Amino acid sequence: MRKNESGHASVVMVVLRLLCFLLFAGAFIPALNPARLSELIGENVSLFTCALSYSSIASEFTRALQRGWVEKSAISTAYTGAVLAALGIAGSMGVFCVSLGKLKMKRLSAAIGIGAGVLGLSSTAVLLNAASMFTNSPNPDRIDPMMPVGVWVFAAVFAVQIILCVIALMFLPKPTAEDRYEIEARYRLFLMMLPFLALVLIFSYLPLWGWRVSLFDYRPGFKLSMDSFVGLKWLRYLFDNAATRADIMRVLRNTFAISGIGIATSWLPMAFAIFLSEMRSNGAKRFVQTLTTIPNFISWVLVYSVAFAIFSTEGFLNWLLTSVGIIEAGTNYLMNGSHIWLKMWAWGTWKGLGWGAIIYIAGISGIDQQLYEAATVDGAGRFQKMWHITVPGLLSTFFVLLLLSISNILSNGMDQYLVFHNPINKDSIQVLDLYVYQLGLGAGGGSTSNISLATLVGMLKSIISVTLLFGANKVSKWLRGESIV
Per residue in 352-409, pLDDT tens?
999 999 999 989 988 888 998 898 888 888 889 899 899 999 988 898 888 888 888 8
pLDDT tens for 256-272 read 999 999 999 999 999 99
Q: How far apart are CA 87 and CA 435, in angstroms?
A: 42
Work out the end-to-end distance of the chain between its first and last CA atoms, rounded to an integer number of angstroms: 31
**What's the pLDDT score for residue 183?**
81
- pLDDT reading at 447 higher than 60: no
What percent of the chain clears pLDDT 90, i.e. is strictly above it?
A: 32
Q: How far apart are CA 292 and CA 350, in angstroms?
A: 8
pLDDT tens for 290-347 read 999 999 999 999 999 988 898 888 888 888 888 887 877 778 888 877 889 999 999 9
Q: Which of 37-41, 60-64, 442-446 has the lowest mean pLDDT?
A: 442-446
Q: SS3 string of the chain? A: CCCCCCHHHHHHHHHHHHHHHHHHHHCCCHHHCCCCCECCCCCCCCHHHHHHCCHHHHHHHHHHHHHCCCCHHHHHHHHHHHHHHHHHHHHHHHHHHHCCECHHHHHHHHHHHHHHHHHHHHHHHHHHHHHHHHHCCCCHHHHCECCCHHHHHHHHHHHHHHHHHHHHHHHCCCCCCCCCCCECHHHHHHHHHHHHHHHHHHHHHHHHHHHHHHHECCCCCCCHHHCCECCCHHHHHHHHCHHHHHHHHHHHHHHHHHHHHHHHCCCHHHHHHHHHHCCCCHHHHHHHHHHHHHHHHCCHHHHHHHHHHHHCCCCHHHHHHHHCCCCCCCCCHHHCCCCHHHHHHHHHHHHHHHHHHHHHHHHHHCCCHHHHHHHHHCCCCHHHHHHHHHHHHHHHHHHHHHHHHHHCCCCCCCHHHHHHCCCCCHHHHCCHHHHHHHHHHCCCCCCCCCHHHHHHHHHHHHHHHHHHHHHHHHHHHHHHCCCCC
8 A C-beta contact, residue 214 and residue 237: no
**What's the pLDDT score for residue 485?**
58
Q: Which of 95, 126, 89, 129 is nearest to 109 (CA)?
A: 95
Which phi and psi (to 5°) does residue 230 adopt? -120, 0
**What's the pLDDT score for residue 188?**
82
**What's the pLDDT score for residue 301?**
92
- pLDDT reading at 226 higher than 80: no
Q: How far apart are CA 78 and CA 61, in angstroms?
A: 13
The structural domains of the chain, ordered by start, are 7-211 (no CATH), 224-480 (1.10.3720.10)
What percent of the chain clears pLDDT 70, i.e. is strictly above it?
A: 96
Give residue 97's identity as a one-letter amino acid code.
C
Kindly list the distances between the CA atom of residue 399 and the CA atoms of 468, 476, 480, in Å, as whole numbers in the listed order.
Answer: 15, 8, 10
C-alpha radius of gyration, the chain, whole number: 30
Overall average pLDDT of the 266-282 stretch? 90
Q: How far apart are CA 278 and CA 271, in angstroms?
A: 11
User: Phi/psi class of residue 413: alpha, beta or left (left: φ > 0; alpha: ψ in -120 to 50)?
Assistant: left
Give residue 392's identity as a one-letter amino acid code.
P
Overall average pLDDT of the 204-230 stretch? 82
For the chain, give the mean pLDDT: 86
Quickly count: other Cβ atoms within 10 Å of residue 118's Cβ: 16
Kindly list the distances between the CA atom of residue 240 and the CA atoms of 71, 236, 357, in Å, as whole numbers in the listed order.
Answer: 55, 6, 45
Q: How far apart are CA 314 and CA 302, in angstroms?
A: 18
**What's the pLDDT score for residue 483?**
67
8 A C-beta contact, residue 166 and residue 114: yes
**What's the pLDDT score for residue 444?**
45
Q: Which of 120, 97, 117 is nearest to 109 (CA)?
A: 97
Q: What is the pTM of this model?
A: 0.69
Which phi and psi (to 5°) does residue 72 adopt? -65, -30
- pLDDT reading at 2 higher than 50: no
Could you tell me which residue, 198 or 118, shows the higher pLDDT?
Answer: 118
8 A C-beta contact, residue 77 and residue 123: no
Residues present in the chain in total = 485
Q: Which of 67-81, 141-155, 296-310, 397-411 has the lowest mean pLDDT?
A: 397-411
**What's the pLDDT score for residue 4?**
47
- pLDDT reading at 445 higher than 50: no
- pLDDT reading at 113 higher than 90: yes
8 A C-beta contact, residue 2 and residue 106: no
